[in-house]
Structure 1
Amino acid sequence: MNTVTRPRILVVGAGFAGVECVRRLERKLSPDEADVTLVTPFAYQLYLPLLPQVASGVLTPQSIAVSLRRSKKYRTRIIPGGAIGVDLKSKVCVIRTITDQIVNEPYDYIVLAPGSITRTFDIPGLTDHAFGMKTLAEAAYIRDHVISQLDLADASQDPVERASRLQFVVVGGGYAGTETAACLQRLTHAAVKRYPRLDPGLIKWHLIDIAPKLMPELGDKLGSSAQEILRRRGIEISLGTSIAKAGPEEVTFTDGRVIPTRTLIWTAGVVASPLIATLGAETVKGRLAVAPEMNLPGNDGVFALGDSAAVPDLAKGDGAMCPPTAQHALRQGRHVADNVIASLRGGPMRPYVHKDLGLVVDLGGTDAVSKPLGIELRGLPAQAVARGYHWSALRTNVAKTRVMTNWLLNAVAGDDFVRTGFQARKAARLKDFEYTDAYLTPEQVRAHVEGTSRQE
């Protein structure tokens, strides 16, 4: 077959789901069976669960950013850019490249794995003053920002300003928020010892969540253990509470409290990528409604998985949907690749079924809570399971070596408190990192595709 007639498989997104799908396609398809293309703004796969450890400086950023161009044996074409719309009728994906060009990429099969973005609400000042924890840049930026608050507090002669710079608020009692608060609190607790003019008692961390329990998926006992660990460290936990208003120097809680702070970190959940809304297809809570085989009913060659797809959780039943976790995304990526190949070759597709293997929460140091296969663990055993799971899930030996080296170095030498300063002159908040205003409406997608077709 020549290159003109080979089927074109387009994978959108280089997260756990997208990369696993691409790697499986490359291994199981011969070069003359199909052309595989991957659309991603960054040519690396980010290991999201370890972002809090990047923010706290335990791991270096490159340790969890696994290069997609490192291997010489892969043949996938990478388009550096972001998908901003999909025309299902014309089988065209609209892409904004990193050079800001808008191009059309036709496909025969498309795998939608664009992931998720931080979920926000209509809270005054939230997107202008809060930091997120969803990207590598955000994690690196937060580390610089937190350390700079210690420097600025040390330099200040105003006790009110000093106190506000040493208070930190994290919103979101899920895994991301809990681990972020835990890891960064350890960082500031260790760092303040190097600032003799600062009173360690002024450093206060607040973890708040609208839910009545912290990490309810862990169960009552482990959830209570995690709360006890955090409270023992001095983190103030407020449940049934959220943010009413955010400003540059203070945050107002829904219970009326006003906390003077320069640091608000927002981790209150995720929503599907705005790309899904451009399809004009049925959604479930913003996620694309797909069949158990992860194909889009009524649209040949369209598959979706990961955080942006409402994949039925057949292992749980009762209409449950698979949670947006790395554990599911990895397995869905491999499974959807098999279904794309089956569709390509005219074979039967199989439904996705996976029983959850458990949960791990790394609270830094020797503190952790884990629930592998339903077994409740605390302390060092839980820490060994948590880090062992993350280490084994890293895709390359280079990444595994870097992460293990960082962990060992941190355990032996302790934390360092260097801030790079590369973004010191440019304030950046939640709205500056995720580019949520870049996407087209379904009507704009259709008009753009039709317009470019007429020009050709």
Structure 2
Amino acid sequence: MERTKILIVGGGFAGVECARGLERGLQPHEAEISLVTPASYELYLPLLPQVAAGVLTPQSVAPPLRRVLRRTGIVPGMVVGIDTRDRVCVIRLISGELVNRRYDKLVLTPGSVTRSFDIPGLDEHARGMKTLAEAAYVRDHVIAQLDLACASHDEKEREGRLQFVVVGGGYAGTETVACLQRLTNAAAKRYPRLDPTQVKWHLLDVAPKLMPELGDKLGRRAMKILQSRGTHVSLGVSVAKAEEDTITLTDNRVLPSRTLIWTAGVAASPLIGTLDAETWKGRLIVNSDLTVPGCEGVLALGDAAAVPDLAKGDGAVCPPTAQHASRQGQHAARNLIAALRGMATTPYRHKDLGLVVDLGGTDAVARPLGFEMSGLPAQAVTRAYHLLALRTFTARFRTVANWGLNALTGDDFLRTGFLSRRPATLRDMEATDAYVTPERARELAEGQSGRGGQP
């Protein structure tokens, strides 16, 4: 009897947890499990700001997939088109070659990309914080601005290089500005010609509150911590135009700056837009058991899917968080196993356990299970949560060691030269222009032979 071909698209929280669940629940002779991802690791996104700040090494937040998964086949590439009629995925390998892969069951977990807007200069001058490469680039860029400012005798140039702008007052933006400001505050003291008070950080958000998901009290507490360090927090404000050395805000202020870090939310992977399926705010509409209406054999979950939030009710959908993505992956595996064995599938239901926000040092705010915390207790809960969420002992050990070393010795302010001669645009870093239309996917599926033993 031929094994069922299960193809998982995406190596994030949802995709990896689904593969892990399938490995545990299915015997090798029952299914052939494959996972398509351009990276060879499972990225733990919540700790990316600490990688950008140099507190953690990249290896700490990126456990290799071959440590996490035992018998899932890893296809090094990204799905750029899907023919749901003939059940074929078109994959662009990391070599650039296009190949086909047939499936019996498809699990769509392509995740999300940085949400951008039609703002002049945004794509050319904004830098994201969604990938490991972006975090490494941002760190190099920030330290480079300090180096160049110290070497310059032009006061106007120095002012622009020492002013940094982060857009997005949610989880990612708040942690990014908190971690990077600690980096520049410490680094500036090592430069003989720099005055640390010249280094300025701005956090912008169009919302009237900082991190509204935390509640008013903790949101105000987080903002107070940032402001006490010198961060200029501007709410109800965003970027109107970005240029090489200036950023114009929607309140008509013009900031001399050469650093724009964009964390203003996420949007579903562009792959979702290539499907002939119904969406909600760009996310694929799915049933409560994670199946996609009208697409036989297809499940969708994680950031790219609008999964009904049965715990909240009233038509709510699950927020695009790591917590939901991981649990949806586990649930998808159980439903796939049930379907393969002729049993009934079950709806996904999970009550959100709360949020944790690490502001660096001994500062943190957290709301686990509805309990509001700040300071050292919140920091202990936050870091314990992150350690539990990391998938390998090696990653946990590295993370604890990095935290301890950083607390004892501080940071080393070095640049690796990563992409030093190439601008790291959102399009390049997150490959948002790599996808094809359903018609083109069908043409490619019909015009190429499969690879990797696929018929």
TM (norm. structure 2) is 0.97
Q: Which residue of structure 2 lines up, in the alignment, with residue 297 of structure 1? A: 293
Q: Secondary structure at the match of 1:437?
A: coil
Give the distance between the partners of 2:56 and 2:34, measured in 1 at CA. Answer: 31
> In structure 2, which of residues 59, 72, 83 is the aligned counterpart of residue 87 of structure 1?
83
Secondary structure at the aligned position of 2:448 is classed as: helix
Choose 374-383 or 195-204, whichever is displaced more.
195-204
Deviations 1:234-293 (A, max 9, x none): 000000011000001010000000000010000000000011112110001111100000
Q: Which amino acid aligns with 2:201?
A: W
Q: Deviations over 1:347-395 (max 9, x none)?
A: 0001000001011000000111000011000100111111110111000
Deviation at 1:43, TM superposition (A): 1.2
- Matched residue SS, 2:130: coil
Distance 1:201 1:351, change over 3 A: same
Give the root-mean-square deviation of aligned CA atoms: 1.2
| Aligned amino acid, residue 384 of structure 1 | A
Contact 2:109–2:303, Cα closer than 8 Å, also in 1:
yes
Uncovered stretches (5+) of structure 2, i.e. residues with no partner: none
Contact conserved, 1:311 with 1:322, CA < 8 A, in 2? yes
- Structure 2 contact 99–448 (Cα < 8 Å) conserved: no
Distance 2:446 2:421 in 1: 43
1:409 match: secondary structure? helix
1:67 alignment counterpart: 64
Tell me the residue number matched to 2:21.
24
Q: Counterparts of 1:48-127 in structure 2 under 5 Å?
A: 48-70=45-67, 74-127=70-123
Q: 1:387 aligns with which of 383, 386, 402?
A: 383
Look up the SS of the partner of 1:357 in the other structure: coil
Counterpart-to-counterpart distance in 1, 2:195 and 2:426: 30
Give secondary structure in 1 for the equivalent of 2:42: strand
Measured after TM superposition, the shift of residue 323 of structure 1 is 0.5
1:224 offset after TM fit, Å? 0.4
Q: Distance in 2 between matches of 1:167 and 1:420?
A: 22
Amino acid of the structure 1 residue aligned with 2:331 = H
What are structure 1's unaligned runs of at least 5 residues?
Answer: none
Aligned equivalent of 1:271, options 260, 267, 274: 267
1:157-200 CA-partner distances (Å, limit 9, x unpaired): 10000010000000000000000000000000000000121111
TM-fit CA distance, 1:446:
2.1
CA–CA distance in structure 2, aligned partners of residues 36 and 316 of structure 1: 33
Match of 2:150 among 140, 154, 176: 154
Q: Which residue of 1 aligns with 2:323?
A: 327
The answer for the alignment partner of 2:256 in structure 1 is 260
Where does 1:33-52 land on structure 2 (aligned, <5 Å)?
Answer: 33-52=30-49
Moved more, 101-110 or 439-448: 439-448
- Matched residue, 1:12: 9
Q: In the TM superposition, what is the alpha-carbon distance from 1:453 to its structure 2 partner?
A: 7.2
Shift of 1:416: 1.4
SS, match of residue 433 in structure 2:
helix
Query: Could you say which residue in structure 1 is the equivalent of 2:177?
Result: 181
Deviation at 1:452, TM superposition (A): 3.5
Q: Distance in 1 between matches of 2:344 and 2:61?
A: 36
- The alignment partner of 1:45 has SS state of coil
The percentage of aligned residue pairs carrying the same residue is 67
Q: Which amino acid aligns with 2:177?
A: A
Question: Does the residue aligned with 1:170 lie in a helix, a strand or coil?
Answer: strand
Task: Report the Cα distance in structure 1 between the residues aligned to 2:48 and 2:125, rounded to whole angstroms.
Answer: 20
The answer to whether the 8 Å contact 1:63/1:399 transfers is: yes
Give the letter for the 1:452 counterpart.
Q
Q: Which residue of 1 aligns with 2:203?
A: 207
Contact 1:129 1:430 (8 Å CA) reproduced: no
The total of aligned residue pairs comes to: 451
Show the counterpart of 2:160. Answer: 164
SS at match of 2:95: coil
Q: What CA deviation, in whole Å up to 9, does each residue of 1:321-342 have, x standing for no partner?
A: 0001011111100000010111
Partners of 1:237 and 1:54 in 2: CA distance:
23
Corresponding residue SS for 1:69: helix
- Looking at structure 2, the residues matched to 127 and 277 of structure 1 have their Cα atoms a distance apart, in angstroms, of 20
Q: Give the aligned residue type for 2:156.
A: V
Q: Secondary structure at the match of 2:260?
A: strand
CA distance in 1: counterparts of 2:354 and 2:162, whole angstroms: 36
